[in-house]
């Protein structure tokens, strides 16, 4: 069975992430969306909450599983004998960071391959950080995050 892992902080999941999930899930028998801690980012949702939001918006894609993990991505993968990481690339600015991370992951676990998918053009400007800013100042979240979670994002920001 071909299984790939799509890791990220997903704080919260955006339409851009969901687009990658839909497309990647067609390329593999199973896609594990894996919520991890990015120590460089201050979180809004805790990782269990992020997992619940992803489950809410992927419940109709049967070969997608959502997991959360508190350690290194490569350790999650080694323990389960998984070898393929999927990452979305939005623009040149993502490249250097993603390239560095892909090589570090391969250094830590040489059998791992990172496969990059280009984000669809209509989501190329989108990021979880900009979504949080828009929500904080009362902007319209339609087309930025999946409809089913707009209220969750707004409530979390307001009650923070
Ligand atoms: O969505 P993000 O924030 O760009 O995703 C980055 C993430 C969470 C995939 C990355 O920070 C990560 O893999 N965190 C877990 C710790 C780890 O394995 N780091 C990679 C070695 S540099």
Instruction: Read off the pLDDT of residues 56-109 as tens digits, 9 standing for 90 and up.
Output: 999 999 999 999 999 999 999 999 999 999 999 998 889 999 999 999 999 999
pLDDT in tens, 24-54: 999 999 999 999 999 999 899 999 999 999 9
Question: What is the reported pLDDT for 91?
Answer: 87
Residue nearest to atom 4 of ligand 1 (CA): 8
Q: What is the mean pLDDT of residues 117-133?
A: 95
Question: What is the reported pLDDT for 35?
Answer: 98
DSSP the chain: --EEEEEE--TT--HHHHHHHHHHHTTSSEEEEEE---TTS--SS-HHHHHHHHHHHHTT-TTEEEEE-SS-HHHHHHHTT--EEEEEE-SHHHHHHHHHHHHHHHHHSTT-EEEEEEPPGGGTT--HHHHHHHHHTT---TTTS-GGGHHHHHHHHHT-
- Distance of CA 8 from the midpoint of ligand 1 (Å): 6
Give the domain CATH number at 52: 3.40.50.620
- Distance of CA 56 from the midpoint of ligand 1 (Å): 23
Residue 33 and residue 16: Cα distance in Å, rounded? 14
Q: What is the mean pLDDT of residues 120-124?
A: 94
pTM for this model (two decimals): 0.97
Question: What is the reported pLDDT for 39?
Answer: 92
Can you give the residue range of the structural domain that contains 52? 3-159
Number of structural domains the chain divides into = 1
CA atoms within 13 A of residue 45's CA, in its CB half-sphere = 25
Question: What is the reported pLDDT for 92?
Answer: 85
Q: 70 catalytic, yes or no?
A: no
* All residues at 6 or more sequence positions from 55 whose CB lies less than 8 Å from its CB, including other chains: 66
Q: What is the mean pLDDT of residues 130-145?
A: 96
Question: What is the reported pLDDT for 160?
Answer: 80
pLDDT band at 111 (very low <50, low <70, confident <90, very high): very high
Does 129 belong to an annotated binding site?
Answer: yes
Q: 107 catalytic, yes or no?
A: no
Residues with CB under 6 A from ligand 1: 7-9, 36-38, 41, 72-73, 101, 104-105
């Amino acid at each position: 069975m071909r299984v790939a892992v799509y890791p990220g902080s997903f704080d919260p999941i955006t339409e851009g992430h969901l687009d990658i999930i839909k497309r990647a899930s067609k390329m593999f028998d199973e896609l594990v969306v894996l919520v991890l801690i990015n120590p460089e980012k201050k979180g809004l949702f805790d990782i269990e909450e992020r997992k619940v939001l992803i489950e809410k918006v992927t419940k109709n894609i049967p070969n997608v599983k959502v997991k959360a993990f508190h350690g290194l991505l490569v350790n999650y993968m080694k323990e389960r004998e998984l070898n393929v990481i999927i990452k979305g690339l939005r623009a040149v600015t993502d490249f250097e960071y993603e390239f560095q991370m892909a090589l570090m992951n391969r250094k830590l676990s040489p059998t791992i391959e990172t496969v990059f998918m280009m984000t669809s053009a209509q989501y190329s400007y989108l990021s979880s950080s900009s979504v949080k800013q828009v929500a904080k100042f009362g902007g319209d979240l339609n087309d930025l995050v999946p409809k089913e979670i707009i209220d969750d994002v707004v409530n979390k920001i307001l009650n923070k």
